[in-house]
Structure 1
Amino acid sequence: MHTSDDPSRYQEVLVSPMYLAGSGGTADASFAPVSRWPHHSLGDAPCQLLVTSPDHRIRIGWFGDDFELWKINASEDALSVPRWTATFNHVTPPEIVAGLTTALARDYAEADVYDDNARFLAKPSNRWADAVRPLIDAGWTRDGGAERGTVEIVASDGQAGILIDNRLSGWDDETVTLWAGPPGWGTRAEAVFTAGTPSHLIAATAAVMAESAPVVRERHQIDRRVEHLVTLSPAVSVAPQVSRAPTPRDVRRTAVTQAVNRAARFPRTAADLRVMAARSRTGASAQNRSSDPAPALGTRPPAAPTPPRHSR
């Protein structure tokens, strides 16, 4: 656990496995695949941000103050009852949510306008293995102790899995749960899918967990109850996967991190001044975020992009 006066508190580190990294304080990654879709800011409503496909058949809601941060569904048309719903709680890394939103963006791009046969509306497979194939291929194994009528596939470290409940049959029954982390309100990530969810969308979400590539987090964002289960390494030791120009937020966070690291190498008097300055900038950034429709849990929605140039 890192105390409030620990200079390494804001150090950026690579966290592995990714499924134990927590939300990281931003929802940006989950919305990146649909950044060109219409964004609707709903202010202080329970659903603070709603991102929809241009025809509103796919809806991605972000509930900043709720236990379930993301609620995603799809229907035949904008006013129909959802065919299926997926929810992700406040501990779920947004990179996992992005597995689903990426698949939805791809399905929508491939579909004809008002196509009833769009893949994101497909009926789920009758074979439960189709939804968990990426996990099985990655070496996850079936738990023989699962209750009768259920199937559970578990990672080799025992800290993540998927539970399929075959005893439920209602279209809106929650039949599939992806989970990671020890049981507990602040430690267990959960993604829950209703019975009508297309199998390939569950598989796309599970595939991200199976890859479990390291993700960047600040040290204080790792729950102390999970620290012993993850591997941390300096973020600077690995080149970025995608080359891009740094955003203003990247520049600000890098400056704060470097200031804290420099402070730790100077004599105490100078170090104190530098650490205080770095924290002041970090605190100001946090205060600015709190003025937005951001959640009490410390997660914030992405900034709304410019309107799309065209719609479907």
Structure 2
Amino acid sequence: MAQFAEDHDHLGSAVCPRHLAGPGDPRHVTHALRAAGWHTASDPLHPTVALHSPDYSHQLTLAPQAGHPYRPWWRIRSPHGKAHWSAEFSGTTPVEIIAGLTDALIQPPPEHLRGPMELLTSHGWGYHAQSGGSESATSPDKAVSMEWQISPVAGTLGWAIEAVDRHNLDRPGFLWRASLDDNTPSHLVTAFATALADPEPVLRGRFEIPYGLPLKQEQEEPLGPKTAAAHTARLAQARRHRPKPALSTSPSVPSAPPRTTSPARPAR
């Protein structure tokens, strides 16, 4: 935590919308999973990070690719059983949006679940139904879309999410991409959509804020104390979902009776 606070001890601002805010600090995701009891399964001397859930049913891999930030860096999957699923995010995806899905992995599913399209349209996103069953929602600024894809040839493909820069022709046409396959549990898709549409600003350092995008930027201030406090609270919340150690079911062994010391015999 001390290193995290030191790394954020600089000037910055709260910015929104979050889908244009840039990637942020990956530890926003990985520290929370570790606090919730996930195991590290990677070499600490290698840049790839691999984590497993406590019951090994879910895996997260963060594999940076030098010079290719728009390729999938983040991979989250449940490889076991018939309902295996996977999700991928480019290295430029805002970590707060990725955390929408990963935070839902460490919490019990909600009793009442809204569909992702219903949730997005309630935040003012435009809805588009297409022939063949595909449907999509587009953010009010037209920068990001979330599409349920169905191919007439291959069938259901899953969810495709893409953020596009429509204001600066000097940078690549897209900002980040994500995909959730068609087996991704509904509550995880909705949790991702919730984080995607969340209007709450996110914190970024002065030199982390993307240039030339239509971001709303609050007054610049020292970020260290505020970022550290928010991260500390986030990890405390994650620890509440850490699995409790299993109680031992082995029969208790009665303790041996205390030894009594015989009185010393008098010397003859």
Normalising by the residue count of structure 1, what TM-score does the alignment of the two structures yield?
A: 0.59
Q: CA deviation at 1:40?
A: 2.0
Matched residue, 1:133: 118
* Preserved contact between residue 84 and residue 183 of structure 2 (Cα < 8 Å): yes
* SS of aligned partner of 1:34: helix
Aligned position for 2:193: 206
Q: Which amino acid aligns with 1:197?
A: T
Supply the distance in 2 between the matched residues of 1:83 and 1:32 (Cα, whole angstroms).
Answer: 25
Pairwise CA distance, 1:219 = 2.9
Tell whether the 8 Å contact from 1:181 to 1:187 is kept in structure 2 after alignment.
yes
Is the Cα–Cα contact under 8 Å of residues 168 and 175 in structure 1 kept in the other structure? no
Structure 1 partner of 2:50: 50
The answer on 1:60 being equivalent to 2:60 is yes
Q: Percent identical across equivalent pairs?
A: 23
Per-residue CA deviations over 1:89-111 (Å, capped at 9, x if unaligned) read: 0110111111011100013xxxx
Shift of 1:212: 2.9
- Give the counterpart letter for 1:175 in structure 2: G
Q: CA RMSD in A?
A: 3.7
**Following the alignment from structure 2 to structure 1, what is the Cα–Cα distance between the partners of residues 133 and 45?**
42
CA distance in 1, matches of 2:30, 2:153: 31
Aligned pair partner of 2:140 in 156, 173, 191: 156
- 1:162–1:246 Cα change, 3 Å: closer
Helix, strand or coil: the match of 1:188? strand
Aligned structure 1 segments of 4 or more residues deviating by more than 6 angstroms: 168-171, 240-243
Q: Do 1:32 and 1:98's aligned partners in 2 also have CA atoms closer than 8 Å?
A: no
Asked if the contact 1:14/1:217 (under 8 Å) is kept, the reply is yes
Count, aligned residues: 216
Residues 1-45 of structure 1: per-residue CA shift (max 9 Å, x gap): xxxxxxxxx740111101111112x20112243123111223576
Displacement after TM superposition at 1:53 (Å): 0.9
Which has a greater percent of strand? Answer: 2
Which structure would you say has the larger Rg?
A: 2
Question: Whole-Å Cα distance in 2 between the matches of residues 210 and 229 of structure 1?
Answer: 16
In 1: Cα distance, 2:97 partner to 2:84 partner = 21
Cα distance in 1 for partners of 2:218, 2:243 equals 41
**What residue ranges of structure 1 are gaps of 5+ in the alignment?**
1-9, 108-118, 120-124, 248-304
1:178 aligns with 2:165: no
2:128 maps to what in 1?
A: 143
**How many angstroms apart in 1 are the aligned matches of 2:243 and 2:135?**
45
- What is the rounded CA distance, in whole Å, between the counterparts of 1:168 and 1:30 in structure 2? 36
Cα distance in 1 for residues equivalent to 2:116 and 2:186: 5
Alignment of 1:1-312 (within 5 A): 11-24=11-24, 26-35=25-34, 36-42=37-43, 48-65=48-65, 67-76=71-80, 83-107=84-108, 130-143=115-128, 149-167=133-151, 174-182=157-165, 185=172, 187-224=174-211, 227-236=212-221, 244=229
Q: Deviations over 1:40-67 (max 9, x none)?
A: 223576x811111112110011112262
Hey, what's the Cα distance between the residues in 1 that align with 2:77 and 2:152?
19
Q: Residue 91 of structure 1 contacts residue 186 of structure 1 at CA under 8 Å; is this kept in 2?
A: no
C-alpha contact (below 8 Å) 1:187/1:223 kept by paired residues: no
Query: Matches of 1:33 and 1:210 in 2, distance apart?
Result: 21
